Amino acid sequence: MGGSLFSSATGAFQPSKTESVANYCRISGPVKLHLFQELGAKASELHGNGIASNRAGVLRSNKKSVIQAILQSESEVETANGRGTRGLRGQLNKVVLAYSGGLDTSVIVPWLRENYGCEVVCFTADVGQGMKELEGLEKKARASGACQLVVKDLKEEFVRDFIFPCLRAGAIYERKYLLGTSMARPVIAKAMVDVAKEVGADAVSHGCTGKGNDQVRFELAFFALNPNLNVVAPWREWDITGREDAIEYAKKHNIPVPVTKKSIYSRDRNLWHLSHEGDILEDPANEPKKDMYMMSTDPEDAPNEPEYVEIGIVGGLPVSVNGEALSPASLLTKLNEIGGKHGIGRIDMVENRLVGMKSRGVYETPGGTILFAATRELESLTLDRETIQVKDSLALKYAELVYAGRWFDPLRESMDAFMEKITEHTTGTVTLKLYKGSVHVASRRSIYSLYREDISSFENGQIYNQADAAGFIRLYGLPTRVRAMLEKEL
């Protein structure tokens, strides 16, 4: 994570109404360095650099086993009525909330405190949504009454452990969808469970609605990783029905409403894709507007000259672009830039949601589209017919499991082991030609190639004798001949 995210000092922010934070948190004493170490920097199952802010500035740690924590202030924080006070709906000690800083999650913070008498730890995952969405989160979380903000850079883990396995498996949902949101939810949920353990939380919460797929994806991951955690889904419990209700609730509880221009589209962005839903897209008969797209150039406006890009692949996983070895996240970032410039990866589809309804979405997946094309082309050299057929059939099930939130299901994990085994020789390079929204293969090379020019040539050779085909055809076509003979006799 860059230091710019935490550029403001913790003490610099003052709520517009002095009572806004005091209503939810009470100062009980100074926090020593050991408290930060206990809450934010002790060894954990998470990986990455940790950053914690306090009044003295920003502390950094180069340890790999830390979580990034922003404490509300140099104080221990308790609920306004003291620990153990029952809320309107029950009692929880501490809840880890999947937090974006938008209106919904800003309102969820005080709602959780009011209804469950708990402390709220806001958690934000950086999965490549962009720095703009991560700016100012400390101020927003404090203004809403959160006692702690934890930020985790998950980009490398997201690409390495979630995106690349799906890529290797060839998982595509309903012929088009490359599972961008579906893959992001389990990596976020996994980090939330880890953070809950670190901070001693007994519950987790999310802002997903009761109509979508994400509620299932989050909660199945919670169940798989820690079935003892309570799960709170406010949209399935509260009386808030829309944006205006949420604004009124925020005003009533002296919570500053995030001042942002509301997009007419519902979007979800990460390093793999950008999805668009809502507004005119709700009618499948409407063509998307040209200015809606954000990751890719309109193919009509793309460069008039094609660009060639070489993808290096080892064991079914991409490792380099144009001969340059890159980390998983860096590789995908580079291909997003290249593909976006040429209008690659735009998908418009009507899909079947897990909850039963159909929905229309438009997706931009420039780098992912390039990678899928490259891996498929290399497999055409390195896998035999039967293996490709079985792999493709399993890829459909693999995609269904990921879409349905069953990432940590033993079946998906077993299928992943199969995919890893059969692609162990899918190693080589593929050169693709990008031009105005299209991806075409230019060359494929592999030391494990099953393609033999001496066999495929029209000339006779020692390995393949064309005369042998006559006997093969007679035997292969025997069932057809027998059926035709029977019909003739009848």
pLDDT digits (tens, 9 = 90+) for 62-99: 333 344 444 433 333 343 433 557 889 999 999 999 99
Is residue 94 a contact partner of residue 39, using CB atoms and an 8 Å limit?
A: no
Q: State how far the Cα of 203 lies from the Cα of 242, in Å rounded to an integer.
A: 25
Q: State how far the Cα of 490 lies from the Cα of 488, in Å rounded to an integer.
A: 5
Q: Is the pTM of this model over 0.85?
A: no
Is 416 among the residues known to form the active site? no
- Tell me what the mean pLDDT of segment 380-394 comes to: 98
Is 406 among the residues known to form the active site? no
pLDDT digits (tens, 9 = 90+) for 194-250: 999 999 999 999 999 998 899 999 999 999 999 999 999 999 999 999 888 999 999
- Residue of 153, 194, 214, 268 marked active site: 214
Task: Look at residue 458 in the predicted model and tell me its pLDDT.
Answer: 67
Task: Look at residue 41 in the predicted model and tell me its pLDDT.
Answer: 34
Q: State how far the Cα of 124 lies from the Cα of 289, in Å rounded to an integer.
A: 31
Is residue 47 a contact partner of residue 65, using CB atoms and an 8 Å limit?
A: yes
Q: State how far the Cα of 147 lies from the Cα of 143, in Å rounded to an integer.
A: 10
Q: State how far the Cα of 152 lies from the Cα of 229, in Å rounded to an integer.
A: 20
Is 185 among the residues known to form the active site? yes
Is 245 among the residues known to form the active site? no
Q: Does the structure show a pLDDT above 90 at 20?
A: no
Number of Cβ within a 10 Å radius of residue 390: 13
- Residue of 104, 126, 153, 268 marked active site: 104
Task: Look at residue 264 in the predicted model and tell me its pLDDT.
Answer: 86
Sheet order of strands, 324-325 included: 324-325, 317-321, 307-314, 428-435, 438-445
Q: What does DSSP say about strands 68-71 and 94-98: parallel, antiparallel, or unpaired?
A: unpaired
Question: Which has the closest alpha carbon to 13: 51, 53, 50, 52?
Answer: 53
pLDDT digits (tens, 9 = 90+) for 287-339: 999 999 999 999 999 999 999 999 999 999 999 999 999 999 999 999 999 99
CA angle 137, 363, 366 (to 5 degrees): 90
Partnered with residue 341 across adjacent β-strands are none
Task: Look at residue 195 in the predicted model and tell me its pLDDT.
Answer: 98
Q: State how far the Cα of 267 lies from the Cα of 274, in Å rounded to an integer.
A: 7
Question: Which has the closest alpha carbon to 340: 365, 376, 360?
Answer: 365
- Residue of 263, 266, 456, 457 marked active site: 266
13 pLDDT tier (thresholds 50, 70, 90): very low
- Tell me what the mean pLDDT of segment 252-263 comes to: 77
Whole-number average pLDDT of the chain: 85
465 pLDDT tier (thresholds 50, 70, 90): confident
**Could you tell me how many residues make up the chain?**
490
Q: State how far the Cα of 403 lies from the Cα of 398, in Å rounded to an integer.
A: 9
- Residue of 113, 142, 168, 185 marked active site: 185
